Amino acid sequence: MVQSFPMRRFLSLFPTLAGLALAFFIAQSGTREDFFIVGTPDQRTSLSSLFRLLDQQTLPGATRFTLLHEITQRLRAQGEILRINLLLTTYVAQNPTDPFGAHYLFEVAENYRTAGASAMARLYYRRILNNYPDLVEKNESIHYQCLVRLIPLETDPSARRSIFEELNARFRYKMTTPDLFFAWGRACEALGRWDEAQVAYAAFLRFPDPTVPGEPKAASRIHSLVDLSQTDRSWIRQDLTELMAQLQRAILNNDTVTMESLRAKVGFFAVSWDNTDVTDTLSEAFDVRLFLRELVRQANFGGGTDVRFSDTLDELSNEGETYLRSTGWNYRIPTWYFYFRRVEYPADPDINGAWEWAGLYFGEKL
């Protein structure tokens, strides 16, 4: 059954609304026993004993920390997560000098995150970072954990960028996975901060295997963006028709200099149709100029040319990619498809969405 957006929104807020309702009843009754001492008679007796011991501790510290841990563990075993949240937030509000405040609120934030109440989890993670000194538990910083948890919860690009800046400033030594730098770059891109995005993407590409879960083309795209930033991008044309006409004239006129100037300098490929990955571009050892000279030699073999280009674009063509069929090549494979695509480079609006000659497919389509 598909739920409407308002229903999904209500369900995501349910833990928060339920918590507010419970807080209201606590305030109305004014009795802790009605809300925190729950369960079977044995469970209630155990909780009552722990609360009495807690009341006997006049100063915040390790003893209170241990007792609160025992209380929350017993409530968690009963599934009383809302009561845990209310207990800990009330305790922190009443004991602002307790050195374990960050720990208690982190437990609350994790409870909300696990329950799907992202807005409340985000609020508490931010509250810890802004108002409480860091704690290190089991060799792990609570502030670091808050920052990492916030990454998928933050929807505002500016807030996401701030998270990565703080991670980089305080915990750079822990940024050991490529997905962090990928997400940092995307946040900077969304804000139009291209120089910062390039720095993050360059760090992303320094990983031996720069992959991102759920983003199979991440490395290919980032390679292209970074490489484009280091070129003059002079081969890119706004008018596809003009680009195709220039290339055809260069081939028929044996003009390899012009062909080289029109070839994409980033990601150019020459493959057969059965190649499963056109992102495998020509290797650095491949002499593109020699390849182009051979190409025009084949076009003009015997003092003339039998090469013909189709008058219309191939049916595979769309708004972002174009295939131009040609026939009459003299060596082994008579049919070649010239491949053109739009350039993705948001850092330069003048070329973003313009066209480049990006490669060749040899043979008839499979």
Q: In this predicted model, what pLDDT tens digit does every residue of 21-69 receive, in sequence order?
A: 555 555 444 455 568 999 999 999 999 999 999 999 988 889 999 999 9
Q: 266 vs 35, 204, 216, 262, 357, CA distance in Å?
A: 65, 18, 19, 12, 10
Closest by CA position to 127, among listed 161, 99, 92, 94 = 92
* Region 107-125 average pLDDT: 96
Please tell me the predicted confidence (pLDDT) of residue 329. 79
d(C-alpha 366, C-alpha 359), whole Å: 17
* Region 247-251 average pLDDT: 89
Task: Calculate the average pLDDT of the chain.
Answer: 86
Q: Is the pLDDT of residue 75 over 80?
A: yes
Closest by CA position to 128, among listed 147, 148, 155, 154 = 147
* Region 212-229 average pLDDT: 92
Please tell me the predicted confidence (pLDDT) of residue 128. 98
Domains of the chain, first to last: 5-153 (1.25.40), 172-230 (no CATH), 240-362 (3.10.450)
Predicted confidence band of residue 127 (pLDDT cuts 50, 70, 90): very high
d(C-alpha 265, C-alpha 163), whole Å: 35
Predicted confidence band of residue 332 (pLDDT cuts 50, 70, 90): confident
Please tell me the predicted confidence (pLDDT) of residue 328. 83
Please tell me the predicted confidence (pLDDT) of residue 245. 96
Q: 332 vs 162, 310, 328, 364, CA distance in Å?
A: 57, 20, 10, 12
% of the chain residues with pLDDT over 90 = 68
pTM metric for this prediction: 0.76
Predicted confidence band of residue 256 (pLDDT cuts 50, 70, 90): confident
Distance from the first to the final alpha carbon of the chain = 41
d(C-alpha 270, C-alpha 333), whole Å: 13
d(C-alpha 106, C-alpha 125), whole Å: 7
Q: Is the pLDDT of residue 239 over 70?
A: yes
Sheet hosting strand 355-362, strand order edge to edge: 269-272, 355-362, 335-342, 321-327, 308-309
Q: Per residue in 279-310, pLDDT tens?
A: 554 544 456 667 777 766 665 555 556 788 99
d(C-alpha 200, C-alpha 185), whole Å: 5
More confident residue, 354 or 302: 354
Cα 160 to its chain centre, rounded Å, is 11
Q: Is the pLDDT of residue 144 over 50?
A: yes
d(C-alpha 124, C-alpha 101), whole Å: 11
Please tell me the predicted confidence (pLDDT) of residue 288. 64
* Region 325-349 average pLDDT: 89
Predicted confidence band of residue 3 (pLDDT cuts 50, 70, 90): very low
